[in-house]
Structure 1
């Protein structure tokens, strides 16, 4: 895997040599990032409209400072349970716990349309239990999570779940896990996030999946916003919706990076630690 990565980066570096002298690009190690857009961000050098990383760091603890250099400044949450393994970001979900793992939001330049992609795999000994939230997503306006219904029109979120409908804490006899979208928005029908009845093919352990999520804000009270989820190039969800009803809250503010089990009942837990691996994150603001 490392040889393939290195060859890919060497080729990319050769193709991008003319960009070294461009005012809109800069190189930091193996990570190429676009110039910062926001005036406030220029001072901190940590809030971006576009960013990409392949987590090309030595094995060991993945500190918050390293994560912020790779992905952007944290807006909220506590960075923990993270390390680098074979140039991948690895998040550990502790055994016998819910809503515990790594739950942070990354500050990005405000925008009305964003897209991100990343790769993810579950460790070879991963226990599915009932499911949980994982990977990168979007936080709009005030953002809503935790079964707090987003019906006041001031924000929403678009995240990803793995879900195993018959999973328990101790039995794996009927495991059939899959990805499903998890969306909070103005017109959501229930208190918890809407999956729109969509699910991916059955998931496997130790297999890489490429996830793409794209969100577009609506304007005013119109239902002209949208969300798109794709898994390995196959569309999981493409939906028009109304995220908000107040333009003061229509902007995409953060990228979520949430990896944890839950749900709130014990069957979401596992008796062993769970490891989930991430690679090749890229996000881009399409419209401000």
Structure 2
């Protein structure tokens, strides 16, 4: 007669413990617009850029009036922001290659699955005309054939956002949204011979009722806030840098570096930033269900998948209901002088767009399926019975 042994008990635990969420990989090459379609992100906002260069005071006024900042506040870096003519850098991916990616991704999406038709709602943040009272602050402005770009200055010996760079929180969809998935896209350029030093921060996304925490060592508790930014490291090595709740099991993963005082490094060195070229960044964040570790971060650089990290926890309850918007945060650091830039340096930003939606968790991209736990439990049970009866 068949009998259960210690080995069969381990097999029961193995099969019963298999994850109920099975995730397929997203396309390795895809444009931001096609990625948004895969995740059903049909609400979008394109941040406006002026058609002239602007002085520093006018730059701050423009960002405050046009980019819908939290509390209408540039938190730091008012003297380090300037709209200037675009530097003549190469583009990370040719326009015709991007169009081809759009066409291929659209064709693949159409042939592989059917989706419900959703009306696309576009909310473009239009530039407000600068009033005549600000004309005196714009002396020396220059009309440009293409929109200006945002130049951020990092003064010599600066580190942390208090001494260089800039930081603010843009809420283009308003302060009370229910968007659980958001895609931030922008282009960034580093000048030739950019000195990476030990590293620095780049813009990302954030959410939660606490609009100032989850950075600078202020750790999240799962109900107050989260933030997901990028970092450059020595030599231009890139990573996703997040303030999110962690567990020992999460921190034990080989591509995760946890720091009890600061943020979590996700897949450090998975890609590299390059100087003297415009690089397109597409950062996607999908919140987890409060009771499950099924959040997702994906990063595309020049339309190529650089990082995909499922199984994340951004929140532990409904206090964090949505992703708020862009956390524009860039500086050298680090929190001590070893991170400081020895000379004054710059980065440049253009073509900033956010797309948002509320697809089913881990089921919005056509390549992610959520298989019911009941079905898996039945398979595990049947497998256990077969193994117990016929193998032992």
Q: TM-score with structure 1 length normalisation?
A: 0.72
- The alpha carbon displacement at 1:54 in A equals 5.8
Name the SS of the counterpart of 2:187 in structure 1.
Answer: strand
Q: Alpha-carbon deviation of 1:121?
A: 0.5
Q: Distance in 2 between matches of 1:154 and 1:236?
A: 29
**Cross-structure match for 1:83:** 82
What residue number does 1:102 align with?
A: 166
Alignment of 1:1-288 (within 5 A): 50-53=44-47, 55-61=49-55, 62-75=58-71, 76=73, 77-78=75-76, 80=78, 81-86=80-85, 87-99=148-160, 100-107=164-171, 108-109=173-174, 110=177, 111-134=179-202, 136-141=203-208, 142=210, 143-164=213-234, 176-187=235-246, 189=251, 190-191=259-260, 192-240=262-310, 241-287=312-358
Q: CA deviation at 1:271?
A: 2.0
Q: Who wins on radius of gyration, i.e. which is larger?
A: 2
5+ unaligned residues in a row in structure 1: which ranges? Answer: 1-48, 165-175
Deviation readout 1:30-86 (Å, 9 max, x if unpaired): xxxxxxxxxxxxxxxxxxx63214624212325223113443234451351111121
SS of alignment partner, residue 267 of structure 2: coil
Instruction: Say whether the 8 Å CA contact 1:51–1:71 is kept in structure 2.
Output: no
Instruction: Say which structure is richer in strand.
Output: 1
Say whether the 8 Å CA contact 1:229–1:237 is kept in structure 2: yes
TM-score (norm 2): 0.54
Q: How much is the aligned-residue C-alpha RMSD, in angstroms?
A: 2.2
Distance 2:297 2:215 in 1: 17
Gaps of 5+ in 2: 1-42, 86-147, 252-258, 360-392
Deviations 1:185-220 (A, max 9, x none): 122643222222332444332211110011111222
Mark the CA change 1:159 to 1:179 in structure 2 (over 3 Å): closer, same or farther. Answer: same
Cα displacement string for residues 230-266 of structure 1 (whole angstroms, at most 9, x for unaligned residues): 1112222212211111112131123200111100232
Contact kept, 8 Å, 1:68 with 1:74, in 2: the verdict is no
3-state secondary structure, aligned to 2:338: helix
Provide the C-alpha distance between the structure 1 equivalents of 2:288 and 2:263, rounded to a whole number of angstroms: 18
CA contact (8 A) 1:64 1:79 kept: no
* Larger helix share, 1 or 2: 2
The separation in 1 between residues aligned to 2:184 and 2:298, in whole angstroms, is 11
The 8 Å contact of residues 103 and 258 in structure 1, kept in 2 or not, is answered as yes
Q: Secondary structure at the match of 1:104?
A: strand
* Offset of residue 152 of structure 1: 4.4
> Higher relative contact order by CA 8 Å / sep ≥ 6: 1 or 2?
2
Partner Cα separation in structure 2 for residue 139 and residue 202 of structure 1: 23
- 3-state SS of paired residue (1:196): strand
What residue in structure 1 maps to residue 379 of structure 2?
none
Q: Which moved more, 1:186-195 or 1:102-111?
A: 186-195
Classify the secondary structure of the residue corresponding to 1:270: coil
Q: Deviations over 1:106-159 (max 9, x none)?
A: 12432211111000011235322111102x311121351123332444321110
